[in-house]
Amino acid sequence: MNKKFDVVIVGTGAAGLFCALSLPQDKKILCISKDALDGSDSFLAQGGICMLRDDNDYASYFEDTMRAGHYENRKESVEIMIKSSQQIIHDLEGYGVEFEKENGEFVFTKEGAHSDNRILFHADVTGREITGKLLARAQERENITLMDYTTMVDWVCKDNVCYGIVVADEDGKTEAIEADVTVLACGGLGGVYKHSTNYRHISGDALALALYHNVRLENCDYVQIHPTTLYTKQSGRSFLISESVRGEGAVLRDKNGERFTDELQPRDVVSNAIFAKMKEQGTEHVWLDFSPIPKEEILSHFPNIYKHCTEAGFNPLETWVPVVPAQHYFMGGIYVDKDSKTTMEQLYAIGETSCNGVHGRNRLASNSLLESLVFAKRAAADIMTVSEYKKAADFDNLVNLEDYADLHGIMEKYHAMVVQEIKEEARLRSLKEEAI
């Protein structure tokens, strides 16, 4: 393969693909995926994507996002995201993405902690619709090379400038790829958790490399637990039951059939209420009651959820569904500014890998896809403002590929580094909060 590109993007989820598509077609771009090209968490997003409905919606949308984030959000980033949302939706429709409409007008739904209906959706597979269409458009571009089952093992950098990455193929063969710009869009860290809605291979590798190369991280202990995943005793990725199910009326019940919380509070609040009820009653799950939702709406709006629950032995039209909280999303990550630049030159981070401050301590439902796309597009725009990037005079001498012979050991070390960083940040934050 060609070992020199203008831009290398690590990840083929919504953020990585949108960034690639937002760059000029005269740029040679490489997008790599650790798994299959569609093996990103973006494909799993069910609920939808937020959009500012009109100017009258701005204040409440801003407040909803800030309140969910416990007012620890970066206000500038929140403002950028909300004010960019209508253009992003326009861009997506230009790429062929379809959202639910009636008489030619968008249909908006509502999810937990939103004060109004402002979420666009495509049945209950919005992430698949968006990311699948972006992948199709990227595959049509002659300037974009897509490589699956290719793992980022290290960055090629010197004096705090990134000149590319080291990758390994399925057989463990490593090689160094030179690039003017490297964009990290490799997702969160669910793979280091026992119970997670994330793909197992998405395990925070970029965070470990940031630690190793002294790139600033932020809020690595801010890990979101989703309140409702399908309870099962089987191991593997937990199946998420979208927040929009509760937004449309489903309620939570304890083992006695009693409703015990307001289901439309922020995710951390609902998750804590479920954990408390499970502890109080000595149970391994609670129940989600779909019955307040009309049957026709369950079948039309949530066909994938209906199918998956039914296959697991729980028909939502006839019975309650057992649910339990599980790790779902990462609000922290590699620190970036409003243009997605990290503290290392020629290195950007977007999507769940990054922390631009939009989400604060806790993410508002359906802000993830929007935030990823807004700041992916800003990264692309910022990349194009630089007329000439720094080149490594001795690129081949910056890497010794023999150092990566023990790939399994290296990846295990990365995972341990990430887990340790989460624990350490949580410990330090706890001490700080106790002192206040």
Tell me the pLDDT tens digit for each residue of 111-141: 878 999 999 999 989 999 999 999 999 999 9
- pLDDT over threshold 90, residue 268: no
Percent of residues, the chain, with pLDDT higher than 70:
99
Can you tell me the mean pLDDT for 415-420?
95
Residue 186 has pLDDT above 90, yes or no: yes
The count of other CB atoms within 10 Å of the CB of residue 115 is: 14
State both tokens at 258.
């009693």
DSSP letters spanning 140-173:
H-TTEEEESS-EEEEEEEETTEEEEEEEE-TT--
The per-residue pLDDT for 1 is: 57
Q: Which amino acid is at 259?
A: R
The H or E element spanning position 424 is: helix 407-435
Structural tokens at position 10: 């690590």
* b/e per residue 367-391 (b: at least 16 CB within 10 A): bbbbbbbbbbbbbbebbeeeeebee
The confidence score (pLDDT) of residue 11 equals 98
Percent of the chain predicted with pLDDT > 90: 89
**Which whole number is the average pLDDT over 403-428?**
95
Better-predicted residue by pLDDT, 2 or 142 = 142
Banded model confidence at residue 69, pLDDT cuts 50, 70, 90: very high
At residue 2, the pLDDT reads 67
Whether the predicted pLDDT of 201 surpasses 90: yes
Q: Which residues are catalytic?
A: 267
